[in-house]
Amino acid sequence: MSIAAPVVLQSTLTCPHCGNDRNFQVKTLQMHVVHLEDGRVEVSEESRPAVLEVLCDECETALKFEEFEDPLRKEVLLTIGAR
């Protein structure tokens, strides 16, 4: 499991617990297939990251990504290269 660095969002998202409206953690999962040959490790296939969880970066309250406004959800996915 990989954890993406905090993403700064420029939108109307606000944490209902602490009021933070700027920094959120987007946790993602990405799969890699690696190929071992002659002592080297090479990535032969990788998936695009999938969003597992979104947390407020201030108080770590979980936010429901599926309930984000569509334009905001699409902007987050585009920014982190996810699906």
C-beta atoms surrounding 73 within 10 Å:
17
Residues (pLDDT < 70) of the chain are 1-11, 83
Model pLDDT, residue 9: 44
CA 64 to CA 2: how far, in whole Å?
A: 19
Task: Say if pTM beats, i.e. exceeds, 0.75.
Answer: no
Model pLDDT, residue 21: 94
β pairing state of 23-29 and 7-8: antiparallel
Nearest by Cα to 7 from 59, 63, 77, 71: 77
* Alpha helices per DSSP H over the chain: 70-80
Query: How many helices (H) and strands (E) in the chain?
Result: 1, 7
* Alpha helices per DSSP H over 4-81: 70-80
